[in-house]
Structure 1
Amino acid sequence: MRVSGPLAAGGNVFAFAWAPDSSRIAYNADQLVDEFIDLFTSRPDGSGNTQVSAVQFNGGVFDFAWAPDGSRIAYRTDQFTDNVFEIFTSGPDGSGNVRISGPLVAGGQVFGFSWAPDSSRIAYLADQLTDNLLELFTSRPDGSGNVRVSGPVTAPGTGLSGSNFAWSPDSAYIAYISHQRSATFELFTARPDGSLNPVVSGPMPTGSNVFNFLWTRDSQRLVYRADQLVQNQAELFSCAPDGGAVNVRISGPLTLGGDVFSFTLP
């Protein structure tokens, strides 16, 4: 059974995702005009095919994600200004389409986003205030409450490290890697409203960095990989999200020249 709508000449479906409750399927396609990639939803039986974005330029919607509770869909596109990518949300039926990212400085873009597990907010990475300075922001799904949650960048550089940020499973914190205090990439956490912003990784030698991290399932700890004790020797450490507890090394002693290369959590 085909659930996508009839395609324009040359059109294609590029990606799709089920709603959390399986009631609809979202997909992006140049369904109406070739190379104008919009976001659509459809019921699993193919009925109710609906356009939920409003692309006006060549290109369109490339990233999209359902809210965990299925109430809305967030997507990244240049809907208002050609080649200026922002975050929008819409109801699954196309209603209530709204931009949720804040006004961008000239040259600014949104680069990635992630729903809070409880669907209350969306975190996104953007050079919203200063061109080429990547910072972390959150907004409610209706576009209200837009706030920067990463701290002021006081060191030269580009702020956050790529898209390396993640919500805690209980939605109470966002963790991210940034060199906002120095040339060293450190691990920080923030409250979704920006009210708390501690560095949670331990002191590191000059030239050392945090490379990646994961949340524990209960949201009580972060595990991260860093050359925190010996430069160029990556080990595993654990810390509390509020920065209040002592950091501990959890990987075992390494042989000369040894490193921890990857890790996973249950």
Structure 2
Amino acid sequence: MTSQSSTTVPARLGAPAPAPAPAPVAVHLGDPHAPRTACVLAPVMAQWDHGAFFEPVAEALLSTGHRVTVYDTLSLLRAGDDLAALADRWADVLRAEQPDLLAGNALGGAVVQQLLDRPWTHRTRVVLLSAPTVADETLDATLERIAAAVEPDGTAAALRLLHEVVRGPAEPSPAPGAPGHLDDEALSGWRLATGLRLLRRADARRRVEAFPGKLLHVYGTESRLVRHHHLATGPGHTRVGIPEAGMRPHADRPDATRQAVAAFLAPPSTKRIHEK
């Protein structure tokens, strides 16, 4: 491999310098020498939580011999990207990992589904948590209402609207006030609004229905956002609805979600997944 020169080529007068290539941000879980590799893409986050969202599910992967890398999906986002462009960028990163398992939550799962027509994904298992295959007018309108609130009302107000639609059925409505400290208000607002808008008119039904590998959708039956009809499946695929859970079944019902994932990963003779 040849090394890249550190010499900077000046831009032409009046032309902007090219943006630096974005680099993936990730956290690694489990034994680095485990025999299997799992790659997980995160949902839209105003600030990266260092993989904390996936902790309720991680044990199901770690206990089945996976070393897990949880990626900040928005770390590769550039201005002007649509969902396909972001997925193309992630394809280069994930293909190099040669994953045995691809997983994604919400936007992260939508990115994964965009990749399922690529031959290198056909050897993987796929786990999707509240990840829409197709966005309808209702989902588009809800996400746009939240994204559009960032500019006039601020990131904190938009995050309250987001919490209202992703909270579990037993979780109270968000109280007025800021949801917590934001390290960079402008960046957090851009991540939130741009990330939510990536799902506009998403449609990976053809890719998912033709995917020849094993695939699991997990969703909350009481979700206010991504519901059963937003998820497509093909032969050998499974949908599991988690009762009494909303958009975040892994947070609302962690044991039930973890059991669904563990059953999906178990040898065929021990599987006990019941489609809802």
- TM-score between the two structures when normalised by the length of structure 2: 0.28
* Higher RCO (CA-CA < 8 Å; seq separation 6+): 2
The structure richer in strand per residue is 1
The structure richer in helix per residue is 2
In terms of Rg, which structure is larger? 1
- TM-score between the two structures when normalised by the length of structure 1: 0.28
